[in-house]
Structure 1
Amino acid sequence: MSEHRAIGRIEETAALPGAGGPGSDFTAGEALVQPALNRITVHGQVHQVEPKVMQVLLLMAARPGHVVGREAFLETVWAGTVGDDYLLNRAVSELRRIFGDDPRTPRYIETIRKGGYRLVAPIAPARVAAAVPAPGVGSPPPAAVSPAQAEPVGAAATPPPARGRWRLLAPLVVVALALLVTLAAWRMRPAATPLDGAWEVQPLTSYVGREVEPSLSPDGSRVAFVWDGGQGALDIYVKTVGAEDTLNLTRSPGDERYPLWMPDGRSLLYARVDGDGLAVMRVAALGGAPIRVMGDARVQAVRGMAISPDGRLLAYSAREHADAPYRVVLAALDGGTPRVVSQPPGGSVGDLDPRFSPDGRYLVFVRAINEVTRDLYRAGLGGGASTRLTFDNRKLNGVAWSPDGEHLLFTSTRSGMYALWSAAPDGSDLRQVALGNEVVQQPTTAAGVDAIVFEHWAHRSQLRLGDLGTRGEGDAGPFFHSTRWDSSPAWSPDGQRIAFSSNRSGPHAIWVSRSDGRDAVQVAGFGGAFIDNPAWSPDGRLLAFDASPDGTSAIYVVASDGGQPRRITTGPGDARHPSWSRDGQWLYYEANHDGQWRPMARRLEGGDPVVLAAGPGERPRESADARWLLYARPDTGGIWRMPRLDWAGEAPVAATRLEVDLRGGDVDRWVPGEAGIYYVRRPEDGVSQLALFDPDSGRTQDVLPLASGFEGWGFQLSPDQQRIIYSEPTRHESDLRIAVLREPDT
């Protein structure tokens, strides 16, 4: 290999977490490495090494955790000279001697049989890691050093002139170690981070699929995240900031979620939920076999985790069954019984995304009344009443602490679209953080590192049209779709118009268009508050919908050509998913007044609401012939019905279950028609189907094939019963981006 090819090899493999410019130092485990001085200091003991020994270390450090083959060492370090295995083995032995490393249980350099060597010690910029002070021969092992006390990069004595081939390779290693320049620019500040400063946003990942749940390492050099690989199970990956190296840490057939860095940056925790409950796993940051550190057999699902600053406590958002709210649970990693520390209201989504305060004394989390009405709350580690911090009643997706630990960072649609906001720990002093036009989700930070990593979504939902006659896709015309989020369509009684929810002009609102998508106009909106599920009155004059401008989801009506919305439901509790009786006198909906969603009916002109079922029920609507009231149950699955009565004068009778194999998770994937009930049937083997169930005969037939992992919802039949309209996500991807605080102009 020529020297030019050797240069290319080093540039190609450059990926050191925490590399730097000329004379830049870095740490490997407990050792301070000073490449320009050919010096390695371990616990205060200074070792001068030969240039080629340093080059061997730098070649491994350029790709930490990755195997560097013997041929790569010989063709790079000994390029143009006579090199053999003996020289390489001697260099590695010298490094192990300096590090005090045992090849049988390596902490620094691992031998890969018939492969080469890999560096397994954590790598970080010396300034960020602050692991070792300026070395002195014979000095005692160093104590921890704060960021303010850390020795500046390049503070060592001016290096002597390089000699031999090191003079040629030194500039190349500078290229390989270029990442430290970026990290040094972040500057760990002892003073408060100016959140209103100039932030520069850069792409971090751009893979096909979903990259979510980022976690920034304590030194800011790496980001752990979850990726589905474009399809399939979710796994944990680690990527070096400023480089393209990505390390796959888990490869199980199940989903791994919520990676968390341990405070020392050497390992990560993550969650796995299966039939045996929650398992919290630990894996080395450079790869290896995962180890189970704790579990909770009661847990069925998890929505976020956090680790305390001292690494001793774990907080996670969990629920024990599908119709229970998520609660924040606190557990000690060294054992003990997990304790519930938050009590969300029944029937709500619950408490999500817990975060420890910088001093570890309390928790901040997101309380979700539903998936789009959320605010920040605070709770002590001992439990008790939670304190509400924000009163937005808007979408909120993620919370973190500012790098200086003085402010909360959270995403919110309080200004109409998702943006990043900051607040004091008590919820006061709300300000928007200027990140340009970025749509920010799930921010993550590291103490003292002036960077914010977040999810950037490319999600889109379109209205879809199915032709029941041809059993295929219906031709709706070019104006039927948009590049934004369109959902929850509803046909007007005459079939000439469609009402739907969309964010095509910014905040979500209710829109009405012609049936081919032309001439769309906004008819109702609340400036970013949750609004959805429009339903036409039988005469086409009114639209009912649900919205939560004040934090409680309620039923509203508005004129179908626009106007001032009027609230229909009153009192405490939430109401959603309206539909009309066939005579237009009653509105049906589901309400949660006591922790359980129940089907309800209320006259349009007022009066007391009527509870239609003692047990749970969702999506109530009349049959096409107005003889029956139908609703679904998420706890048992299936569709239930009762006779349609005069709700003002007759008490509802008990409902009976129809033999419809509608799953509990598909309560919003069915609609009654003149021929029966259309619903999504998911066979154990084979593709999903839009099926038709005839209540009179009990027979089911498939009418329209769907994708195996069909995610559409909100079915509505056209008045002529020939077409079915619904919404379906057509793009479900996300990348990670990083915002770095720019240096002020000097």
Structure 2
Amino acid sequence: MSDQTAIGRIDETATGHGGWLPGSFSAGEALVQPSLNRISIHGRVCQVEPKVMQVLVLMARRPGTVVPREDFLEIVWAGTIADDYLLNRAVSELRKILDDDPQAPRYIETIRKGGYRLIAPVAPARVAAAVALPAQEVPPAEAPAPSPAAATAPAPEPQSAAAWPPLPVAPRRRGYGYAALAAAGIAGLAIAVYALRPAPPPPLAEAYEVRPLTSLVGRELEPALSPDGSRVAFIHDGTGAFDVYVKTIGSEDILNLTRSAVDERYPAWMPDGRALLFARAGADGISLLRVSALGGGITRVLQDPAMQQVRGLGLSPDGRHVVYAAREAADAPYRLFLAALDGSSRRELTLPPPGTLGDIDPRFARDGRSLVFVRGVNEVTKDIYRVPLEGGEPVRLTADNRKLNGLAWSPDGSRLLFTSTRSGMYALWSSDADGGDLRRLMLGNEDVHQPTTTAGVDAIAFEQWNHRSRLRQIDLARPEAAPSPAQSTRWDSQPAWSPDGARLAFTSNRGGPHGIWVSRSDGSEAVQVASFGGAFIDNPAWSPDGTRIAFDGSPDGRVAIYVVSPEGGTPQRVVDGPGDARNPSWSRDGAWLYFESNRSGQWQVYAQPAAGGEAVAVTPGAGSNARESVDGRHLLFTKPGLRGLWRVPRQDWSQAIPAAQEQLLLAGLAPEDSSNWAPARDGVYFVRRPQGEAPRLAHAGAEGGNVTDIAPLPSGFEGWGFDLSPDQTQLVFSEMTLRESDLRLAAPRTMAQ
């Protein structure tokens, strides 16, 4: 078999299993082109021997998984006499090309007495997938060494288990087994060889039957299966605020257990199944309350007056302790608190870095000795961690750097279940208790959230979302008759006008994973120009000369600012850490690139020369969503979680901005409308929300006064991302058109049938 035929046979196997065919893919910062035997990294293009490429492809098909030496020799050197020297030489050549240190690996890790594994993130090469920084921006010698947790964590699989199937095993010429195996043929050979290996842990199920669990109008969220698996508790917004409900599985019997004017969240069953615990946040802080599963009076079990927001809770297996995620303010990270339900003790368990989302969705291990939880850099960059109950430094278990929404244990308590966008869309994945042996659970749904299980019951309940956003355009002269751009049935958001008004850039998942798209001003002829294959990407902004689109994304874990040509190409990272950088915009003269960053421990607005250089903070305190006024004389911005629109004078940003120069321009802009405003020649367009009335599109004068209503908006208006056309006649923005979620129940297909 020739070397190119060998790679072709690998590709045929992928196609036969229903996976995508990776003609090219990225591994970390490298672009790998197997058909050309070419690896491109840091501005260098390296040709490699075919066998060296096959070694890399084999590891890439099992990212994060140890590939035994036997597999390399039996697959890459099939039908030849080979030994470890050839394999060692191939790995050494790859490390040299990738600038990889075997003592602190970022790409290939050696497993003693085992083999090798690829620990760099692997993803398909999309239309404009970011591969590497230019060599002059990040010299290999200056690249930061990964933390021990990052160096040892398994790399995320970019596709489903079916997308990277096991390769067929061919024999090598060694000993008496070859003749007998060869006679059996290729199919029998693969079975025979794998049969001799230790069997992997049994999967949760080969296939699942997914059934409707609820179908109420509105949102049903945060399911919790009862200890005997007969009922599901959840929250529902049928009366406006979220209340706790219980439904008997297999019937339409539903009990509304709470009726409060404020939201109740995160129901959890007591071990005996007779009562539920849930959380409520109000003016007096956070309360944990208990209610009978049959309804009745509500008892406050615990109160934390210092905390204002809650983001998950878990109950210990013995029902004696609770862990909850809470924070004291919108700009503080969530932390985990462990408390005894009898009130005898309470202590802080984790301390995430400032300026991050923090620690959410805690779950007790089934032995009650440790916790697993989700740690988020922000809402779109999250991973799973573990911490013992006695405290200590949390251990990172996954290296997704993706959106992650939900965490649970398998029914037998041996594996973790979590949702991740590692394959582009939200799907359910499982790993062992240490974050290894990653597998995708095929539930037949592309949008799975918040899985839940109960010990010994072979079923998984989860949320299935049906959310849709559209681009809406308003003709300011005739707001009642304004057409909107051409729509899709997917998620379209964050539109931005090109400087000539002929095109729109926006974020969409109409091609699968979210990407940056460009269309004509009416929404037609849309094409994707950038994608990170499932990693977060958003907030496009055109440069004043129309040659570049800036946006933010997190293919490497931290959110950074990239630019790409509106015609497509490889995005270039132009703003990186420390911390995250997001929401880019340009100065009117194109000399500066604005963005918000949490590098100081709070979100502030920064300015960086568009040609490159040092970024400087331009707001004296907190700031976000920065845009220059149309005349270029002021920089306008909001503050996270606060009401109002502020401004500072535009100046030479290399100079510090005195706090006294910060001026409140609009006091009435609500926190939920922090991006619902757009500078105009004669003032600002924004969303006004009168007390007890429907919101309106309004206009304020240049100094914030003379407010005039332009057009009514729906009473439940959920929009974001205002942008005004260059000729000042059209306003475009994102608008939520559908927000529904139902609960589903997945049971092993054999049991269901």
Match of 1:627 in 2: 633
1:406-454 residue CA offsets vs partner (Å, 9 max, x unmatched): 0000000001111100011111111111212342100000011100000
- Aligned pairs for 1:162-177 (under 5 A) are none
Task: Between 349-358 and 680-689, report the one with greater CA deviation.
Answer: 680-689
Match of 1:315 in 2: 323
- Aligned pairs for 1:73-472 (under 5 A) are 194-229=203-238, 232-472=240-480
Q: Name the CA distance, whole Å, in 2 between partners of 1:745 and 1:484.
A: 32
Deviation of 1:192 (Å): 7.9
Q: Name the CA distance, whole Å, in 2 between partners of 1:284 and 1:492.
A: 58
Give the letter aligned to residue 379 of structure 2.
E
Q: Name the CA distance, whole Å, in 1 between partners of 2:448 and 2:730.
A: 37
Contact 1:341 1:380 in 2 (8 A): no
Instruction: Say if 2:741 is the partner of 1:726.
Output: no
Match of 1:147 in 2: none
Instruction: Say if 2:645 is the partner of 1:639.
Output: yes
Instruction: Say if 2:520 is the partner of 1:511.
Output: no
Match of 1:715 in 2: 722
**What secondary structure is seen at the aligned counterpart in 1 of 2:569?**
coil
**What secondary structure is seen at the aligned counterpart in 1 of 2:360?**
strand
Q: Name the CA distance, whole Å, in 2 between partners of 1:466 and 1:727.
A: 11
Instruction: Say if 2:608 is the partner of 1:608.
Output: no
Match of 1:524 in 2: 530
- Aligned pairs for 1:580-591 (under 5 A) are 580-591=586-597
Q: Of 673, 686, 695, which aligns to 2:693? A: 686
Q: Name the CA distance, whole Å, in 2 between partners of 1:594 and 1:384.
A: 25
Match of 1:661 in 2: 668
Q: Of 647, 652, 656, which aligns to 2:657? A: 652
Deviation of 1:554 (Å): 0.5
Give the letter aligned to residue 351 of structure 1.
D
Give the letter aligned to residue 323 of structure 2.
A
Q: Name the CA distance, whole Å, in 2 between partners of 1:381 and 1:677.
A: 52
Q: Name the CA distance, whole Å, in 1 between partners of 2:282 and 2:497.
A: 41
Give the letter aligned to residue 526 of structure 1.
F
Give the letter aligned to residue 608 of structure 2.
R
Contact 1:192 1:406 in 2 (8 A): no
Contact 2:558 2:580 in 1 (8 A): yes
**What secondary structure is seen at the aligned counterpart in 2 of 1:384?**
coil
Identity of aligned residues (%): 60
Q: Of 664, 678, 681, which aligns to 1:671? A: 678
Contact 2:646 2:666 in 1 (8 A): no
Q: Name the CA distance, whole Å, in 1 between partners of 2:366 and 2:430.
A: 15
Instruction: Say if 2:536 is the partner of 1:502.
Output: no
Deviation of 1:743 (Å): 2.5
Deviation of 1:474 (Å): 1.8
Q: Name the CA distance, whole Å, in 2 between partners of 1:437 and 1:636.
A: 38
Deviation of 1:340 (Å): 1.4
Match of 1:699 in 2: 706
Contact 2:665 2:703 in 1 (8 A): no
| CA pair 583-551 structure 1, distance change in 2 beyond 3 A | same
**Alignment gaps of 5+ in structure 2:** 1-199
Instruction: Say if 2:549 is the partner of 1:543.
Output: yes
Deviation of 1:663 (Å): 2.3
Task: Between 395-404 and 238-247, report the one with greater CA deviation.
Answer: 238-247
Contact 1:322 1:635 in 2 (8 A): yes
1:551-574 residue CA offsets vs partner (Å, 9 max, x unmatched): 100000000110000001133210
Contact 1:508 1:530 in 2 (8 A): yes
Q: Of 600, 619, 622, which aligns to 1:594? A: 600
**What secondary structure is seen at the aligned counterpart in 1 of 2:694?**
coil
Q: Of 460, 481, 484, which aligns to 2:487? A: 481
1:49-78 residue CA offsets vs partner (Å, 9 max, x unmatched): xxxxxxxxxxxxxxxxxxxxxxxxxxxxxx
Q: Name the CA distance, whole Å, in 1 between partners of 2:555 and 2:728.
A: 35
Contact 2:722 2:732 in 1 (8 A): yes
Q: Name the CA distance, whole Å, in 1 between partners of 2:289 and 2:730.
A: 49
RMSD, aligned CA: 1.8
TM-score where L is the length of structure 2: 0.71
Q: Name the CA distance, whole Å, in 2 between partners of 1:704 and 1:473.
A: 11
**What secondary structure is seen at the aligned counterpart in 2 of 1:621?**
strand
Match of 1:112 in 2: none
Match of 2:47 in 1: none
TM-score where L is the length of structure 1: 0.72
1:70-129 residue CA offsets vs partner (Å, 9 max, x unmatched): xxxxxxxxxxxxxxxxxxxxxxxxxxxxxxxxxxxxxxxxxxxxxxxxxxxxxxxxxxxx
Q: Name the CA distance, whole Å, in 2 between partners of 1:255 and 1:520.
A: 40
Contact 2:310 2:326 in 1 (8 A): yes
Contact 2:497 2:542 in 1 (8 A): yes
Contact 1:193 1:404 in 2 (8 A): no
Q: Name the CA distance, whole Å, in 2 between partners of 1:560 and 1:544.
A: 10
Deviation of 1:671 (Å): 1.5
Contact 2:471 2:484 in 1 (8 A): no
| CA pair 686-397 structure 1, distance change in 2 beyond 3 A | same
**Alignment gaps of 5+ in structure 1:** 1-190
Match of 1:47 in 2: none
Give the letter aligned to residue 242 of structure 1.
G
Contact 1:634 1:665 in 2 (8 A): no
Deviation of 1:393 (Å): 0.7
**What secondary structure is seen at the aligned counterpart in 2 of 1:568?**
strand
**What secondary structure is seen at the aligned counterpart in 2 of 1:397?**
strand
Contact 1:366 1:376 in 2 (8 A): yes
| CA pair 532-320 structure 1, distance change in 2 beyond 3 A | same
**What secondary structure is seen at the aligned counterpart in 1 of 2:672?**
helix
Contact 2:463 2:741 in 1 (8 A): yes
Q: Name the CA distance, whole Å, in 2 between partners of 1:426 and 1:527.
A: 25
Which structure has the larger Rg?
1
Q: Name the CA distance, whole Å, in 2 between partners of 1:692 and 1:233.
A: 31
Q: Name the CA distance, whole Å, in 2 between partners of 1:606 and 1:670.
A: 28
Deviation of 1:366 (Å): 0.8
Q: Name the CA distance, whole Å, in 2 between partners of 1:396 and 1:740.
A: 22
Contact 1:193 1:403 in 2 (8 A): no
Contact 1:193 1:450 in 2 (8 A): no
